[in-house]
Structure 1
Amino acid sequence: MSLPRQPGIPHPRLPLPKGQPENLAAFQQWLSDAIPMVSALGIRAVTRQGDALTWQLALTPNLNDKGTGFGGALTAQTTLQGWCWVTLWLRERGINRDVVVAEASQRFLAPVTSDYRLVCTPAVPEGPTQLASKLAERGKGRIALTQQLYCGERLCLEASGSYAVLPPH
């Protein structure tokens, strides 16, 4: 059990996986400790395959007054998932750096009416290679990511964001 978070005090970093595959359950637990609202988002499972990070989520903790997905919760999830994509990508390469969202937008296409999945991928296939180049050249960089939320096979939300990897302290 972790201590309650305090404003202005950074949460300790999770040790890098050191050549091992990331333990996504341990990462999710660390994330819940580091960002208290995460435990209320209904994230049931986290998986990675290739350049895709997928979350399975429960609708119930994210309901609005109409009984469908609350746009604010869905927006927070897409933004957080992009941050996680970049953080996990860096950790896979043995890099422990700060990541921030620079821009984010969402387009709501249909109501979210059941448990759902959220898939995050680079906006362009060469995005990860370009980020690696910028990090090597300048010590910082950005990547554009997209998130798509599906209820079954129906696309309900599309989001995009630009995430910055900050230079070392």
Structure 2
Amino acid sequence: MTRKVLLLVTVGQPATSLLRDLEEPLATHLGLSAVASKTVLSRPTYALNESRAQYHCNAIMRRLVTLLEPAHALVLGVTDVDLFVPDSAFVFGEADRGTRSGVVSEARLRPGASPELLRRRVQAEVLTQAGHLLGLSYCEDARCVMCQAQTPQDVDRKQLALCNPCRNELQKLQR
């Protein structure tokens, strides 16, 4: 079976090595081939909600969709700006299976984190959003990478792997 290709796009100025650090976990745990885009999107001022001082995920994802090419099944942006969706104070990331796009931010994962811990947190949240793009839902198992995180400590509890039920569901979805 051919692996789906996930296009990774830098949005703003996240840590420069982050995209490279995502390739192995995406391949190992979700069976995705990750490709870093040559296109780098600047800080998404078009998505800024000034009253919240945050950036709307959907606006960023609409821009990311325009970068999809026939060789790419999915696109996911990695950014350093603080993200929101209307009904939440903030989100670490968001994914829309319909448009095949998602975005993850390091902004709320960064405070107090060493470079290694930040890398691991971003990996976990990228795996979560990529899992949603593949059709997985949130999981109740706090150790599963598909568990919804509300705090950086929740992210720290996650393993960089799917629990058995989520792994089985992914196999069903990939048939």
TM above 0.5: no
* Larger CA Rg, structure 1 vs 2: 1
Give the structure, 1 or 2, with the largest relative contact order (CA under 8 Å, sep 6 or more): 1
The normalised TM-score by structure 1 is 0.31
Q: Which has the higher strand share?
A: 1
For normalisation by structure 2, the TM-score amounts to: 0.30
